[in-house]
Each structure stands twice: as C-alpha cells, then as structure tokens.
C-alpha cells in the first residue's frame, strides 16, 4: 500500500470522527511509521495574550525564540484521564468551502465551525460562526490598497493560493484561524477544510441520509415535506445551503444534516462502503492532523453517546442587519452588526467548556438555537 493510500485512509477516519461517526481505528495502528507527520501544512503561530499586569518570571527560559516554563515544584495532581490517548481538549476550525472544484486555489468559507473535542468527558461541541461578520483580516491590506476589513468568509478566500495575499503554507485555513483569533480570541489547534464536491461524494457513498421532518415549522426550515425524507448528496447539499428563512436557520439546516450523516456513518453496514468513501476524499480535503491524532479522534467517536454531541450558535438577538461600504467591491454589502467583545466572551466560555449548558435531547422547534444529535 502506497503512502498516498495510507494518508487517504487516515483522512477518512478524521472526517468520520469530525462528523461524529464511529468506525474505530484498527487500520491506523498499522501506520506507526508516519503517525506523527502532519498530513498538511500546520497552522501559523498565534501569540498568547497575557494579562496587563503580567511580568516575566525568573523561571522562564527562552531557547531559540520559544518560551519554556521551568517547573519549580513537583507535586501529585488528580489530572482526569483522557480517552483514547488524546490531549484533554482539542479545538478545531472546520470549514465548508463553496468551491466545487477538486483543488483549493479559490473558494469562500461557506460554513465555518469551531469544534471543541473534550477527550476527558468525552464530548464534542460545535459552534457556528456567521460568515457575514465584518472583521479585520491580517496580511491583506498591502494587496487591497490599505483595506484590512472584509467579511469573515473572505478571510478563507484571501488566504488561498490563487490570490497570493500571503505566503504561509496553511493557506485559507491558516488565515481564517488568525482572523478568528484576532477578532474573537479563538485558539485553534487544528483545521479541516472540505469542499462541496467532497460533501456530495460522502453522502452518495453511504447511499444517502435520512431526515425526519416532524412538522410544518421544520418543513419551512429544511424546504422538505413533512415526514421521512431520503436525500442523496446533491439534495443534502441543497438543504445545507438553504437560507430561505435566514442565515441562522441555514446554520440549523447544516447541523441537522451533519447529525443525519453522523447517524448513517454509525451504521455497521457502512463499513462495507469504505472503499467508495476513500475515493470520495481523494485530493479534496485540507488538514494538518497527523495519523496518530486521527486515530485518537476516530477512537473517541466510538465512545461518544449521542447526547454528548451538541451544536450551538450565538444568540440571534445579539445581531442586527446592516450594510457597510466595501471599497473592494465599491458598494454597500450586507453584514451583521454585533458587539465583538460579547462574542469573544461567548468564545472564551465555549473553549473553557462552560457554554453552552448541556440540554436534553428534544423534538425540533422553530425557536431552538441549539441542536443535540439524537
């Protein structure tokens, strides 16, 4: 088996884990020789903000530009045991790109999620970032005649190789991660970027997904008739991109589709279709995970109870529709007006694991802003 084939199998395990599936990680144990090598360029370094009153500690040692804290005491702790050998908490930026091509030269960040993976509880929480936030994007002003603000989804676009606005190998995911950190304090460990063609191929490879539409309110949200609906890849993509009722409802659509895909991937019969899944992912995904980390994620997928998979969004009442002049397009564009300090506080609590508060599974209602996979 070639190195490329091994990498594809590892990438497959990552996607299934991130979509909250559980297929195990036996195959990954065979690939220890490359287990610690990232499958793509790593994220750029993000400075850690220090408190205003912070002063250097004499126990700090600086070597080759890296700061190391020298321990002064050694004492026993009751550190919780993590599942599957993973770090206690892992934060991942997951991007659904709107490109239908096989390459990642261009494409907006059509769907942006911050995924918090808790290996101790275990639990996975997914936070949606509205793409129409007017944010400061680093490294673009020189190429845009001093313009340093654009929509959040354009941070991913401008980082792509097709634009050449910055030369970091991490490309769009790296520039998006820096933008999220600069504007909201997001700390990112890893990234995954998937284009629309990959999503369609995944759904088709598992013979489609099933979505139950319980009532007329849900029917309006999904654009589907009441009752059981079996969707192929193109139909599932249409539901995920449906924003007839607004941006926040579109995010709910995407989360419901991911829940349905997660449910399908946990079906033992899907294991026989893994060759088709592998072909679907060929050259259509960007990630900086190592195979060893993929194994940890896939392992965790087997330990996750459905109620420990939670999707969340910022409260809708924080956002106001407005327009701002975009010098790049020389016209006013739609954006969300919102206090970034408030969003940053939500991000801080999200990454600390204190928000959102766990809620029991329930039937869909039009007012729900959080979704728990059933």
**Most confident region among 167-176, 207-216, 340-349 by mean pLDDT:** 340-349
Q: Shortest CA distance to 159 belongs to which of 43, 304, 30?
A: 43
Confirm if 90 and 119 have CB atoms less than 8 A apart: yes
Give the CA distances from residue 131 to residues 152, 153, 155, 157, 211, in Å, rounded to whole numbers and listed in that order.
Answer: 5, 5, 10, 12, 25
Q: Is residue 71 part of a domain?
A: no
Q: What is the pLDDT of residue 223?
A: 77
The pLDDT of 345-367, averaged and rounded, is 74
pLDDT at 55 over 50: no
pLDDT for the residue numbered 263:
76
C-alpha span between 87 and 197 (Å, rounded): 32
What's the pLDDT score for residue 65? 38
Examine the pLDDT at 240 and tell me if it is beyond 90: no
CA distance 239 to 350: 27
CA pseudo-torsion sign 182, 169, 146, 93: negative
pLDDT higher at 104 or 370: 104
- Domain assignment present for 369: no
Within a domain: 365: no
Q: Over the range 50-68, which residues count as b (16 or more CB within 10 Å of their CB) and which as e?
A: eeeeeeeeeeeeeeeeeee
- Mean pLDDT, rounded, for 68-74: 39
Question: Residue 76 domain-assigned?
Answer: no
* Residue 183, Cβ density class (10 Å: 0-12 exposed, 13-18 middle, ≥19 buried): buried
In Å, how far from its chain's centre is CA 122? Answer: 18
Higher pLDDT pick, 154 / 249: 154
Domain assignment of residue 52, yes or no? no
Above 50 in pLDDT, residue 60?
no
Whether the CB-CB separation of 10 and 37 falls below 8 Å is answered with: no
Q: Which of 99-113, 269-283, 345-359 has the highest mean pLDDT?
A: 345-359
Q: How confident is the model at residue 189, as a pLDDT? A: 95
Query: Mean pLDDT throughout 163-187?
Result: 94
Query: Percent of the chain having pLDDT more than 70?
Result: 68
- pLDDT (average), residues 224-237: 87
Q: How far apart, in whole angstroms, are the C-alpha atoms of residue 342 and residue 318?
A: 9
Residue 66, domain member (yes or no): no
What is the Cα Rg of the chain in Å? 21
As for how many domains the chain has, the answer is: 1
Residue 341: domain span? 3-43+81-359
HSE, side-chain direction, 13 A CA sphere, residue 209: 29
Q: Looking at the predicted structure, is the pLDDT value of residue 365 above 90?
A: no
Specify if 65 maps to a domain: no
9-20 in b/e form (b: 16+ CB < 10 A) is: bbbbbbbbbbbb
Total residues found in the chain within this entry: 374
User: What CATH number should be reported for the domain holding residue 116?
Assistant: 3.40.630.190
Give the pLDDT confidence score for residue 366 in this predicted structure: 36
- Is 69 a domain residue? no
CA gap 181, 129 in Å, rounded: 13
Show the tokens assigned to 18.
């991130």
State mean pLDDT over 9-26. Answer: 45
Token pair 């969004």 is found at 313
Give the least confident one: 28-37, 130-139, 145-154.
Answer: 28-37
Q: What is the mean pLDDT of residues 55-81?
A: 45
Contact (Cβ atoms closer than 8 angstroms) between residue 222 and residue 242: yes
272 confidence band (pLDDT: 50, 70, 90): low
Position 194 confidence tier, pLDDT thresholds 50, 70, 90: confident
Backbone φ and ψ for 128, nearest 5 degrees, come out as -90, 130
Please state, in angstroms and rounded to a whole number, the distance separating the CA atoms of residues 86 and 7.
20
Q: Phi first, then psi: what are they for 237, rounded to 5°?
A: -65, -40
Mean pLDDT over 24-51 rounds to 59
User: Model confidence at 63, in pLDDT bands (50, 70, 90)?
Assistant: very low
Average pLDDT of the residues in 33-51 = 68
What does the alpha-carbon distance between residue 42 and residue 174 come to, in Å, rounded to a whole number? 8
Q: How far apart are alpha carbons 92 and 116 in whole angstroms?
A: 6
Per-residue tokens: 220:
């309006």
Q: What angle do CA 200, 156, 93 make, to 5 degrees?
A: 70
Which residue from 259, 258, 256 is spatially nearest to 223, judged by alpha carbons? Answer: 256
Cβ neighbours of 214 (radius 10 Å): 12
What does the mean pLDDT of the chain come to? 76
316-351 tens-digit pLDDT: 999 999 999 999 889 999 999 999 999 999 999 999
């Amino acid at each position: 088996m070639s190195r490329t084939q091994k990498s594809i199998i590892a990438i497959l395990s990552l996607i299934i884990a991130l979509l909250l599936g559980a297929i195990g990680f036996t195959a990954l144990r065979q690939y220890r020789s490359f287990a610690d090598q990232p499958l793509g360029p790593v994220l750029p370094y993000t400075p850690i903000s220090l408190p205003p009153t912070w002063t250097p500690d004499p126990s700090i040692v600086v070597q080759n530009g890296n700061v190391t804290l020298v321990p002064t005491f050694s004492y026993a702790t009751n550190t919780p045991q993590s599942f599957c050998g993973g770090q206690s908490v892992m934060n991942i930026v997951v991007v659904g790109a709107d490109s239908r091509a096989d390459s990642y030269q261009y494409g907006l960040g059509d769907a942006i999620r911050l995924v918090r993976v808790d290996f101790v509880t275990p639990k996975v929480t997914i936070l949606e970032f509205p793409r129409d936030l007017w944010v400061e994007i680093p490294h673009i002003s020189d190429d845009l005649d001093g313009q340093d603000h654009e929509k959040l989804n354009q941070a991913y676009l401008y980082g792509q190789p097709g634009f050449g606005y910055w030369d970091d190998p991490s490309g769009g995911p790296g520039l998006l991660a820096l933008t999220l950190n600069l504007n909201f304090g997001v700390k990112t460990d890893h990234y995954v970027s998937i284009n629309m063609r990959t999503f369609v191929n995944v759904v088709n490879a598992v013979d489609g997904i099933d979505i139950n539409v319980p009532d007329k309110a849900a029917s309006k949200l999904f654009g589907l008739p009441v009752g059981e609906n079996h969707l192929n890849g193109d139909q599932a993509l249409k539901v995920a991109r449906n924003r007839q009722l607004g941006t926040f409802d579109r995010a709910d659509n995407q989360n419901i589709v991911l829940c349905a895909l997660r449910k399908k991937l946990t079906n033992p019969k899907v294991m026989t279709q893994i060759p088709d899944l592998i072909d679907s992912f060929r050259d259509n995904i960007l990630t900086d995970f190592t195979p060893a980390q993929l194994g940890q994620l896939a392992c965790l997928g087997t330990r996750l109870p459905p109620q420990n998979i939670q999707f969340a969004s910022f409260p809708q009442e924080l956002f106001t529709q407005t327009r701002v002049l975009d010098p790049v397009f020389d016209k006013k564009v739609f954006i969300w007006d919102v206090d970034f300090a408030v969003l940053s506080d939500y991000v801080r609590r999200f990454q600390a694991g204190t928000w959102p508060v766990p809620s029991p599974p329930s039937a869909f209602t039009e007012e729900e802003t959080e979704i728990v996979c059933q």
